[in-house]
Amino acid sequence: MQTHNLGYPRIGSDRELKKACEKYWTGKASVEELMITSKDIRHQNWITQKDLGIDWIPSNDFSYYDQVLDMSLMVGAIPKRYNQVILDKSNTELDLYFAMARGYQKEGIDIKAMEMTKWFDTNYHYIVPEFENNQKFSLFSTKVIDEYLEAKKAGIKTKPVIVGPVSYLLLGKEKEENFNKLDLIKDILPVYLEILHKLKKEGVEWVQFDEPFLALDLDAKAKETYQYAYKEIHKQFPYINKILTTYFDGLKDNLHLAFSLPVQALHVDLARCPEQLDEILGNIPEKLLLSLGIVDGRNIWKNDFDKSLKLIHKAISKIGEDRIMIAPSCSLLHSPVDLELETDTEALSTEIKNWLAFAKQKIDEVVTLKRLAENENTPELQKKLQENKNAATSRKTSTLIHNEKVKEKIRNIEKVEDKRHSVFSQRKKKQAKSLQLPLFTTTTIGSFPQTSEVRSWRSKLKKRLITPLEYEELIKKEIEKAIRFQEKIGIDVLVHGEFERNDMVEYFGEQLEGVAFSKNGWVQSYGSRCVKPPIIYGDVFRPNSMTVKWSSYAQSLTKKHVKGMLTGPVTILQWSFVRDDQPRKETCFQIALAIREEVLDLERAGIKVIQIDEPAIREGLPLRKKDWKIYLEWAIKAFRIASCGVKDQTQIHTHMCYSEFNDIIQNIADMDADVITIECSKSDMKLLNIFSEFKYPNDIGPGVYDIHSPRIPSKKEMVSLLQKAIKSIPVEQLWINPDCGLKTRGWEETEKALIEMVSAAIELREQC
């Protein structure tokens, strides 16, 4: 048997890449310094995997921003608007790359960033490729070859990883009507063949083609495209070993399609879909190697060796050891780097830590499972097996996990009110009278910039360099500064800025029971943005109020309404490492009850506008449409449990990112939020079309500028977007706001952008 890995975290064990990129973006570091840091990370990753015993280590799994954007640059899928960046000889290839990801404003040139959306059902984001009819492709970046050679020079045998040609096209977006992006396969395939030619010339043995769409519903054209693409690749390069990787679900009805493709190995996700193994083993072609994705790359619980070994032995008995490869289920991009860095037992108890495995530990699990499956019998290996059994037993029997009061509430969940007292049209009249808001009400999504100074206060508090009272005074001053700024520029519904919050999920997780946290368990979300997902290990409940103090303080500073800001139950669930010993639905309902209690406390404290963010509703959809109905029923119910206990006069908002709702618009309407704010600027307001066609009854705030980019939009640009919005949505339903929260932006750009946004609202009021 052989072992391999699909991908390793690229942020560095101490988020070195994040820090290096941000220094480069702000001009505090040179491109050479950034490249040195990135090279150090790559080499450390390769050496770690080699030392742990992995046979086939991935290369080209490193990325400065996103692996799909890497592929766009490699195949020359560069939108024409970036030609100005290319023509400026002072710009490097890396500057072009970051311009595509983040936008570009320099010396009178103003270019929007490319769209960004979620990578399947994960909290990772990718940059969406843009395609035009008859688009031409050419090899622009040689990154995949360069990194293979870099590893080879360091004495590391790697298999380059690339996004497969069909999945790459399916991940993209047609920028013109009346053509199918899959028609571009004949245009893009020559570039893939050129890459393979160069890799073969350098002695490559294995190449990994990531084709996750094989685990999704595919139409006839997509299936034909798969067959065409891989037959052409095989025809040109029959002697390069090609491993086709699928993940996040089972192959199911695409099994025979996958088996028909001329590759040497097929990887399947047995963490997400272990039941597919029997059908695979009953139909697998002769000589095809089977990669068993046996160690969960998406969650942080230790692998159950006994269960995994049963699956491995089943495969061995059917096709033999020499056709088996052992691997994580997917790239370890979605896992924190190294559990050994968790040395603070106050933050993460020894008992809970013993149940966990991060990326480095998962690599060790893969190698250990191979050795155990091959009946290797050493004291060191037997010790590992016994420790694994002990950890599984400890987790099942721990008193930390179960809370009978919480379980009783879930048993009676159907008794919890999950509908507002009146329909929206009646609530809107009451809210209009109570809130007295103008046409085109302006607001922001919640967070304001968190400067290094603000972040340092939390660090000083944790290190006991300042007292809790001193910390509170600092936060109060920052809140007052934000309130005064919003009043000064004329924003209508204010926010307190969330300066006390480290992250919109982590902040709540830290205040809920049944949830643990790591100190260094960072995972990349997008670009340089990293998050520390909560670890939901037990029954969840709220021991005390979580936000009332800060919201009440902010409201006391102004006569304008200040929104209470909460994260919704589905998003907390989706953006956490979730316990796997009970259905996700039950865990979500536990969180929903905790958020409901917080909503009612905010209302009692006099907060009249409460926002419950649910950016992960769409992300949580199962990959197969036949499974959507069950998920949406409990996900929407969870939101309604959290939001529907308030009076008619209390206005409930929700916020959603990456808002392609065409196929779930009825479910979005069923949430019955009084106001929904959505990411909309990058789509040029086209996402509103479905709301218009559906005749969405509640109020909508389409985002008028992209907060993931540092570029500052003009009033004219925002007015133009809103005029398009007015064509789709009645003016009395429209709010005006940015696409998302402003936490990651700087104050200077934020202030300028919001001043332009308020000016746009004033101009529209004058027009209407």
Q: What is the 3-state secondary structure (H, E, C) of 315-361?
A: HHHHHCHHHEEEEECCCHHHCCCCHHHCCCCCCCCHHHHCCECCHHH
Which parts are annotated binding residues for Zn(2+)? 655, 657, 670, 679, 740
Residue with tokens 């270019």: 111
Three-state SS at 700: strand
pLDDT tens, position by position, 561-579: 999 999 999 999 999 999 9
Active site residue 708: yes
pLDDT surpasses 90 at 491 = yes
418 CB-near residues (< 8 Å, 6+ apart): 637, 640, 641, 644
- In terms of Cα–Cα distance, which of 681, 767, 684, 679 is closest to 731? 767
**CA dihedral of 614, 617, 620, 622, whole degrees rounded to 10:** 170
The residue-averaged pLDDT of 657-685 equals: 86
pLDDT of residue 256: 97
Question: How does pLDDT run across 719-733, given as a tens digit for each residue?
Answer: 998 998 899 899 999
Q: How far apart are CA 568 and CA 553, in angstroms?
A: 22
The binding site consists of 15-18, 118, 123, 445-447, 498, 529-530, 575, 613, 619, 655, 657, 670, 679, 740
Query: H or E segment at 209?
Result: strand 206-210
Which H, E and C letters describe 33-99, residue by residue? HHHHHHHHHHHHHHHHHHHHCCCEEEECCCCCCCHHHHHHHHCCCCCHHHHHHHHCCCCCHHHHHHH
The active-site residue out of 267, 561, 653, 708 is 708
Question: Which of 77-81, 594-598, 704-708 is predicted with the least confidence, judged by mean pLDDT?
Answer: 704-708
Average pLDDT value over all residues in the chain = 95
pLDDT band at residue 658, thresholds of 50, 70 and 90? low
Q: Is residue 245 over pLDDT 70?
A: yes
| 410 CB-contact burial (10 Å; exposed 0-12 / middle 13-18 / buried 19+) | middle
- The pLDDT score that the predictor gives to residue 462 is 85
Residue ranges and CATH numbers for the domains of the chain are 2-79+114-336+354-397 (3.20.20.210), 404-503+543-767 (3.20.20.210)
Comparing CA positions, the residue from 141, 274, 246, 157 lying closest to residue 204 is 157
Q: 3-state class of 525 per DSSP? A: strand
Closest residue by Cα to residue 555 from 646, 489, 479: 479
Structure tokens at 653: 């908002």
Provide the pLDDT confidence category of residue 216 given band limits of 50, 70 and 90: very high
pLDDT at 767: 87
H helix runs in 605-643, sequence order: 628-643
Task: Show binding-site residues for L-homocysteine.
Answer: 445-447, 498, 613
Residue 324 phi, psi (nearest 5) = -110, 135
Q: What is the mean pLDDT of residues 256-282?
A: 97
Sequence-distant (6+) residues with CB within 8 A of 33 are 20, 23, 24
Which residues are known binding-site members for L-methionine? 445-447, 498, 613
- Assigned token pair, 378: 């050493």
Percent of the chain with pLDDT over 90: 87
The pLDDT score that the predictor gives to residue 709 is 78
The number of residues making up the chain comes to 768
Report the half-sphere exposure of 209 (CA within 13 A, side-chain side): 29
CA 579 to chain centre: 19
CA distance 476 to 554: 8
Q: Put residue 198 in one of left, alpha, beta given phi > 0 → left and psi -120 to 50 → alpha.
A: alpha
Q: H helices then E strands: how many in the chain?
A: 28, 26
**DSSP letter string, 226-248:** HHHHHHHHHHH-TTSEEEEE--S
pLDDT exceeds 80 at position 186: yes
Distances (CA, A) of 147 to 144, 151, 152, 281: 5, 6, 8, 35
**8 A C-beta contact, residue 280 and residue 251:** yes
- Residue 641 is predicted with a pLDDT of 97
Residue with tokens 């529209």: 764
User: Which pLDDT does position 740 carry in this prediction?
Assistant: 87
Spatial contact of 233 and 291, defined as CB atoms under 8 Å apart? no
**Could you give the CA distance from residue 382 to residue 385 in angstroms, rounded to a whole number?**
5
CA–CA gap between residue 331 and residue 298 (Å, rounded): 8
